[in-house]
């Protein structure tokens, strides 16, 4: 993409995303797949990624907030769609009218929702969430009987339909962690109890990307894959993307804004944390923490310039950082690749995570709106041989202005 005349760009390879979705479906052949596209599809762009995931057969989309889910409906998506991060005030009615599956973790939510349903005049699709040990959202096992009883009553009254029972893992990215089997046992009990009370969920689900990749016994009826559809491994312990046939979807690069010779002993960037060891060439990479480059990459972040890995010299500033090219030359406008799939020798998002003490999820998700997303692979040959069997799941192009 070096011909793209932009300061910086995040190239998003939708053909890779589709291939990743297919690879994940093949790993969970008896389950449906939910493509998790929260947080603007982990920074990749929610609407184009949702559409690509649907094209590759994702039966479900998942978001955190109802606003994210409603935005997908506004863009024309008509397939199954769930969101799980609710606060008092909803918007319940809008979600019911938009046919969104609503996660409910407590009686307060069920009460607000059923009140809104009376106004909407149609039943809500509800998925009950049990906290099997993550300790975040979800109903505590001790409160499960009450929540299930409330849901059974609301279903009898025709106000809701319980479409799912679900939970979320705490440590699935650490294969063999004892909490995994413990959470699974609590989950099975919670499902059995709810079914014994008369609930008939269509989908029971607990698997995120790491569980989808490493724990077939957690797949149940549906797997919720986020980071893996973007070609990123959940953790080094789980493996490399390649081990699972996954390919990173985002490539972040920038055009050098300055290349100049400086003498030895020259301080570089705020605080002069770096001083040139001798006469050298400094190149200015025009992205900074306002673009989502972690300031923690100061002195550590890897960048490919002129075929070689360089390291961020000194501080990452709001809009820019510097690399020392040593004895090598370069030209303004040359491409600096921060991360990508790695085939051109560039670092990966995992390399950035290691260099900055975070996880690759954060590296891609934090890339800000100031960096334009450039979509490639939107339409190519692999879409012709799918038979479009999931016609209901297609995203309608017309709404996506
Ligand atoms: C983000 C999220 C996922 C996806 O997790 P990955 O590890 O990215 O696959 C699944 N379920 C819930 C509830 C989430 O919040």
Q: What does the mean pLDDT of the chain come to?
A: 94
Task: For the beta carbon of residue 216, count every other beta carbon within 10 angstroms.
Answer: 15
Is residue 218 domain-shared with residue 301, that is, in the same domain?
Answer: no
What's the full length of the chain, in residues? 401
Q: Which of 146, 260, 270, 308 is catalytic?
A: 270
Q: What is the pLDDT of residue 381?
A: 57
In sequence order, what are the residues at sequence separation of 6 or more whose Cβ sits closer than 8 angstroms to the Cβ of residue 385?
none
d(CA 251, ligand 1 centre) in Å: 22
Which ligand 1 atom is nearest residue 137's CA? 13
User: pLDDT tens digit string along 341-384?
Assistant: 999 999 999 999 999 999 999 999 999 999 999 999 987 655 54
Pick the atom of ligand 1 nearest to 225's CA.
Answer: 9
State the average pLDDT over residues 319-328: 96
Question: At which residue do the structure tokens 């040593």 appear?
Answer: 326
- Say yes or no: 189 and 290 in one domain: no
| Residue 282 DSSP class | E
- By DSSP bridging, strand 80-83 and strand 101-104 are parallel
pLDDT of 219 strictly over 60:
yes
- Which of 228, 261, 288 corresponds to the end of one domain? 228
- HSE-CB of 326 using CA atoms within 13 angstroms: 6
What is the pTM assigned to this prediction? 0.93
Same domain for 131 and 99: yes
C-alpha to C-alpha distance for 199 and 178, rounded to whole angstroms? 30
Specify whether 19 is located in the same domain as 163: yes
Rounded mean pLDDT of 120-142?
A: 96
For residue 205 and ligand 1, the question of a CB distance below 6 A is answered with no
Residue pair 159/114 in contact by the 8 Å Cβ criterion: yes
Instruction: Indicate which CATH number applies to the domain containing 46.
Output: 3.20.20.10
Query: Do the domain assignments include residue 37?
Result: yes
| Ligand 1 midpoint to CA 168 (Å) | 8
Q: What is the CATH number of the domain that holds 313?
A: 2.40.37.10
Q: Are residues 264 and 174 in the same domain?
A: no
Structurally, how many domains does the chain consist of? Answer: 2
Torsion of CA 270, 275, 280, 285, to 10 degrees: -30
Are residues 26 and 143 both part of a single domain? yes
Residue 369 CA neighbour count, 13 Å, CB half = 3
Q: 72: Cβ–Cβ under 8 A, 6 or more apart, which residues?
A: 37, 46, 47, 50, 61, 63, 81
CB-ligand 1 contact for 208 (6 Å cutoff): yes
**One domain, residues 220 and 261:** no
Q: Which helix (H) or strand (E) holds 59?
A: none
Residue 120 confidence (pLDDT): 80
Residue 114 lies in a domain: yes
CA angle 53, 55, 57 (to 5 degrees): 75
Q: How many angstroms separate the alpha carbon of residue 299 from the centre of ligand 1?
A: 31
Give the residue, by CA position, lying nearest to ligand 1 atom 1.
Answer: 226
Instruction: Locate the ligand 1 atom nearest the alpha carbon of residue 172 and give its number.
Output: 7
Q: Is residue 360 part of a domain?
A: yes
144 inside domain: yes
Is the Cβ atom of 227 under 6 angstroms away from ligand 1?
yes
Q: Is 218 in the pocket of ligand 1 (CB under 6 A)?
A: no
Q: Which domain holds residue 87?
A: 13-228
Residue 276 lies in a domain: yes
Please indicate, yes or no, if residue 124 is contained in any of the structural domains: yes
* 375 carries an active-site annotation: no
User: Three-state DSSP class for 224?
Assistant: strand
> In terms of Cα–Cα distance, which of 226, 256, 276 is closest to 338?
256
The answer to whether residues 224 and 363 belong to one domain is no
């Amino acid at each position: 993409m070096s011909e793209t005349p932009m300061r910086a760009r995040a190239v998003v390879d939708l053909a890779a995303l589709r291939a990743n979705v297919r690879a994940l479906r093949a790993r969970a052949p008896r389950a449906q797949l939910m493509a998790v596209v929260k947080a603007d599809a982990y920074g990749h762009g929610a609407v184009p990624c949702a559409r690509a995931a649907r094209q590759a057969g994702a039966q479900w989309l998942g978001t955190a907030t109802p606003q994210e889910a409603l935005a997908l409906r506004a863009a024309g998506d008509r397939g199954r769609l769930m969101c799980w991060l609710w606060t008092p005030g909803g918007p319940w009615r809008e979600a019911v009218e938009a046919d969104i599956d609503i996660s409910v973790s407590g009686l307060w939510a069920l009460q607000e929702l059923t009140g809104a349903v009376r106004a909407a005049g149609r039943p809500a699709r509800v998925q009950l969430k049990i906290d099997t040990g993550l300790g975040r959202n979800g109903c505590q096992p001790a409160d499960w009987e009450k929540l299930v009883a409330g849901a059974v009553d609301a279903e009898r009254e025709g106000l809701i339909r319980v479409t799912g029972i679900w939970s979320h893992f705490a440590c699935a990215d650490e294969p063999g962690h004892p909490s995994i089997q413990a959470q699974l046992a609590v989950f099975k009990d919670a499902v059995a109890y709810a079914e014994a009370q008369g609930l008939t969920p269509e989908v029971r689900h607990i698997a995120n990307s790491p569980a989808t990749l490493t724990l077939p016994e957690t797949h149940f009826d549906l797997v919720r894959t986020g980071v893996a559809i973007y070609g990123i491994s959940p953790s080094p312990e789980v493996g490399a993307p390649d081990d699972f046939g996954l390919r990173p979807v985002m490539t972040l690069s920038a055009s050098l804004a300055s290349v100049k010779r400086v003498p030895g002993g020259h301080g570089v960037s705020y605080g002069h944390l770096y001083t040139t060891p001798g006469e050298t060439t400094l190149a200015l990479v025009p992205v900074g923490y306002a673009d989502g480059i972690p300031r923690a990459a100061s002195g550590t972040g890897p960048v490919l310039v002129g075929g070689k890995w360089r390291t961020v010299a000194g501080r990452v500033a709001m809009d820019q950082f510097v690399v020392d090219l040593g004895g090598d030359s370069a030209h303004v406008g040359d491409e600096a690749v921060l991360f990508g799939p790695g085939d051109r020798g560039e670092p990966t998002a995992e390399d950035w995570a290691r260099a900055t003490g975070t996880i690759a999820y954060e590296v891609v998700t934090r890339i800000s709106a100031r960096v334009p997303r450039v979509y490639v692979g939107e339409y190519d040959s692999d879409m012709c041989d799918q038979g479009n069997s999931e016609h209901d799941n297609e995203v309608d192009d017309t709404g996506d202005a």
